[in-house]
Structure 1
């Protein structure tokens, strides 16, 4: 008997010790969860559940963790759902558990069970409007007429406890529209207006209802009434503008957008979004561009310290290729937000596009005071220096490009290879050919798929008459066509290398392809020069002269071209 008692006590002590240990582990799991250590949290909840599978809190938390791991282990989701179910049946007052369980029922297609769960939770928490709304949404998702009418009943009761609101009016009206009950829908709308006759939202909602119902005249009356009730309501003005847009009334749309942006209570983020949509709508309508420009200026005058509007205007001007004006808009942005490196980069690119290389250079020099470790800033400064005066600035341009290379993560081989290729281009541009060859080779060794480097190195080598170097040029150039077979620049390079190798027939085939893949405005003097030389050596002198003439029109100071045209024959130099 004594042994039996001792055994029983020991078992009880073991159970108590196990429960205490489970409680400790559960507490540690919650701490790890608060710290964001998901892996440790899962393992600790699992261990607590293994020690005490009778505690519903443990299997609820473990169930949630199983569900969150669904992408890693789908069977765990089913086990997790079962654990949540057990917790709900043991303790339906645990709202968090019940909510997740109901949502999982809905997401797995078990809408009936989701409704059952939320009905219980809603009954236990009649004053919780958020639970009521979840229950209503579940009822509506069934698309069953009986359930939908239950949703209406619950909404009616919710209005009694929470009071009338536009959110509830919208829901009830949508339900009545689903049931094709226009009488009840209109009753709801008029009831909202009667309850809040000075609320523009009520009239705007009525306008939207009539617009959707295909009654534009009634819609316009209510949209206009919303603006009359509260002339400073940005939302009302915007909805009226959208009505005009949907109706195809561009004049009305523009008028109300102007008013929404300039005369209402819209905050700056809303103004930014409206301007963004408005410019997208009208960017291709040249008749409205002066109006949009004027509107931007008026909004900026009213909000001079808001960089987002100026940045958006810079984008709008840039799309129109007004790079100088766009860059000017970015200058105040740089003063307002010097810590944002993206602003400096945009300004630098705009000055480069405007071919104002000196201004691009000075802007990037200013940027370095704030972003000395940004490789993109060094890259843009390098380009600006080289383009401003390559004879005077190439040394500094190379230093800045190499600095960009050093600051770029070593794993980013594509960008680092691009920087080395740029340095090679700089050396090539000042006829330091040996140095150029070294950097081209380094760029390609780092990233053999740097197609531009392969093309430029191939063209660089084509300046030689050494058969081995020309063979290497041919190999590099041919590899670019494997990557981009329709790129006219790469096709032209290959055609020129074939010409240097005296393979005139194939050179003509490729130069014809290059010209066919180029639009007239993008064909350079160099293309036409190559075409003329290749055609001449294919015994087509008259066509060769026509190509040389076109090249000379684009490069009138080229003395070698002038001699070819004048004497109608080929000159090497």
Structure 2
């Protein structure tokens, strides 16, 4: 008797320990504790339920189904156990098992309408259309008429290839509510689905007679005219809907977002831009209007125009970090480094805990050789990036590698690059930069050669990567192979850069072709006049007529 009491106390303690571990965000520990509990009491339904919940959250669906089902067997009158089992089967797309579960839930809670709907829909998913119809009819008899029942029956009739019954079903909604847009739009959409746009327009015209100027009916008309390939009338209806006072700001935002998300958005670019501009004119004090216009223009690669809209948005509301992120990204892309720097100072201060904002600010500082500021931003980005966001973490670590190198923090630089490559061993930018900086320091050259060679295999014909490999080979004393790769780099470039020409000269000198080497150094010096490179060392090479470090 004393042993049973001890076991019962231990089981209770393990159960509450598991709940506590789960609440602290330690699901694996909670899972282990529950498994230990079930070794002592395999029929503990509460432990089975909690274990199944954890397994469902971890997408371990097979075990979740086993444990949830066992819980329902042990306590068939517990509503939550059946709900969990239904959720597991939905995730598994085991639709055949669902009707029986909803039968149990209806048995337990006959007053809950949603379980009847779930059962009817589960029958539909199993292609048991007549049974599903009967279930929806039973709901109507028990709870009264509901538009959702008519919509569900319409779907069933369409599956049964009986469009007349589907039309009759939705027409009833329209006829019962002649002053509501819902029935007209539902019926019009049905006609469009049946490829009957002219019938859809008749219904929508009727809707506008009852509800003049309704913007949502105009939107459906735009779709109908588009189906008829009458784009002028389609645009007219779209514009009419958008300029209507009956559609609020939020509705207009949603409409624009849906239009720009449409795969066919390129076909209607002018009307999208016109509507977006109209939104900024009608709502001149709302930053969201300008930000959305900026997003639309950025999607269309109109970066300068997008930048102007983001600047207007920030003037109206400087507290939205995503606008700053877009602005900084565009300025960096356009090479507007001074402008990006000015905005980076503001954005980094405004959003110290936003990793993407800090990441772009870091790049703005780095490009202007503000390496200490760049380091602060990249380290902030690292601290606040979700540990599951491997893509961003890789980029942040790689950028930290570049920044630490610029600050002569070589051990930290190497460690950052190693972290980046642990997350993504095929990140070509990291492979190239890490290899190049090792070559400059003449450190670990064999590993540098492997990384540089890999970056060229992953991204062939990239002149920057080819130049890096040439320079690693140069530092290894493999001048003949270095010459092959520097000539590949020059061949791959539209115009040979200062660095390429200087490296070409260095390699030629080591191969004994002093005259040609000096010629390439002079070409590099001439190119520096337009790029602003430091030519002090290069000038010394030319004057001394030899390679200098």
| TM-score, scaled to structure 2 | 0.71
- Aligned with residue 189 of structure 1, among 152, 166, 170: 170
* Counterpart selection for 1:167 from 139, 145, 148: 148
User: Residue 443 of structure 1 is aligned with which of 410, 413, 433?
Assistant: 413
**1:516 to partner: Cα distance:** 5.5
Q: Where does the alignment leave 5 or more consecutive residues of structure 1 unmatched? A: 1-10, 389-393, 426-435, 462-468, 562-570
Q: Which residue matches 1:391? A: none
Matching residue of 2:402: 421
Say yes or no: does 1:203 pair with 2:184: yes
Report Cα offsets for 1:369-394 as digits up to 9, x if no partner.
Answer: 42356677677566556756xxxxx5
Q: Is 1:259 paired with 2:240?
A: yes
The residue aligned with 1:309 is 289
Confirm whether residue 481 of structure 1 aligns to residue 466 of structure 2.
no
* Aligned counterpart, 1:398: 371
The Cα shift of 1:244 comes to 4.4
Residue from 346, 361, 379 that aligns with 1:366: 346
- 1:318 paired with 2:298, answer yes
Q: CA deviation at 1:73?
A: 9.1
Distance 1:112 1:557 in 2: 69
How many angstroms does 1:172 deviate by?
A: 0.6
Q: Match of 1:465?
A: none
Q: CA deviation at 1:151?
A: 2.4
Who is 1:272 aligned against?
Answer: 253
Task: Name the CA shift for 1:171/1:496 in 2 (closer, same or farther; >3 Å).
Answer: same
Matches of 1:458 and 1:18 in 2, distance apart?
A: 64
Partner of 1:492: 467
CA deviations over 1:523-560 (Å, ceiling 9, x no partner): 64665787799899999x99x999x999979967999x
Residues 345-384 of structure 1 mapped to structure 2, 5 A cutoff: 345-372=325-352, 384=364
Measured in 2, the distance between the counterparts of 1:110 and 1:557 equals 64
1: CA distance between counterparts of 2:528 and 2:234?
46
Stretch deviating more after TM superposition (442-451 or 189-198): 442-451
The offset of 1:159, in angstroms, is 2.6
Counterpart in the other structure of 1:432: none
Q: Does 1:139 align with 2:123?
A: yes
1:209, CA displacement in angstroms? 1.6
What SS is found at the alignment partner of 2:469? helix
Q: Which residue of structure 2 lines up, in the alignment, with residue 215 of structure 1?
A: 196
Between 204-213 and 449-458, the greater mean CA deviation after superposition: 449-458
The structural deviation recorded for 1:200 is: 1.7
SS of the residue 2:161 aligns to:
coil
Q: Whole-Å Cα distance in 1 between the matches of residues 532 and 338 of structure 2?
A: 27
What is the DSSP-based 3-state SS (H/G/I as helix, E as strand, rest coil) of the residue aligned with 1:164? coil
Give the C-alpha shift of residue 185 in structure 1.
Answer: 1.9
Corresponding residue pairs, total: 509
Q: How many Å separate the matches in 2 of 1:217 and 1:314?
A: 37
Residue aligning to 2:390: none
1:337–1:210 distance in 2 versus 1, CA, 3 Å: same
The alignment partner of 1:484 has SS state of helix
> In 1, Cα distance between the equivalents of 2:96 and 2:444?
72
29-38 or 192-201: which moved more?
29-38
Q: Say if 1:334 and 1:221 are closer, same or farther in 2 by CA, change over 3 A.
A: same
- Structure 1 pair 223/510, CA: closer, same or farther in 2 (3 Å)? farther
User: Retained in 2: the 8 A contact 1:85–1:101?
Assistant: no
Match of 2:52 among 67, 70, 76: 67
**Equivalents in 1 of 2:263, 2:96: separation in Å?**
48
Shift of 1:81: 0.8
Matched-pair contact (CA < 8 Å) for 2:18–2:31: yes
Q: 2:308 aligns with which of 316, 320, 328?
A: 328
Contact 1:62 1:80 in 2 (8 A): no
Could you tell me which residue of structure 2 aligns to residue 344 of structure 1? Answer: 324
Return the index of the structure with the highest Cα Rg. Answer: 1
Rounded to whole Å, the distance in 1 between the matches of 2:530 and 2:239 is 50
Alignment of 1:48-59 (within 5 A): 59=45
Q: Check conservation: 1:173, 1:188, Cα contact below 8 A.
A: yes
Which stretch of structure 1 is more off in the superposition, 346-355 or 244-253? 244-253
**Structure 1 counterpart SS, 2:350:** coil
TM-superposed deviation, 1:162? 3.6
Match of residue 567 from structure 1: none
Q: Distance in 1 between matches of 2:329 and 2:109?
A: 59
Q: Distance in 2 between matches of 1:545 and 1:280?
A: 54
Measure the CA separation in 1 of the matches of 2:246 and 2:281: 16
| 2:66 alignment counterpart | 78
Q: Which of the numbers 273, 285, 294 marks the counterpart of 1:293?
A: 273
**Alpha-carbon distance in structure 2 between the residues aligned to 1:551 and 1:250:** 58
| Unpaired stretches in structure 2, ≥5 consecutive residues | 388-392, 422-429, 536-544
Deviation at 1:188, TM superposition (A): 1.0
3-state SS in 2 of match to 1:135: helix
Distance 1:201 1:557, change over 3 A: closer
RMSD in angstroms over aligned alpha carbons? 5.3
The verdict on how the C-alpha distance between 1:511 and 1:283 changes in structure 2, with shifts beyond 3 A counting, is farther
Cα offset for 1:439? 4.2
Distance in 2, matches of 1:399 and 1:550, equals: 30
1:24-75 residue CA offsets vs partner (Å, 9 max, x unmatched): 889969986996787669968996997896xxxx63x344334325456955
Kindly indicate whether the alpha-carbon contact (under 8 Å) linking 1:26 and 1:45 is maintained by their aligned counterparts in 2.
Answer: no
Name the TM-score, length of structure 1 as normaliser. 0.68
Instruction: Please state if 1:238 is matched with 2:219.
Output: yes
Q: CA deviation at 1:133?
A: 0.4
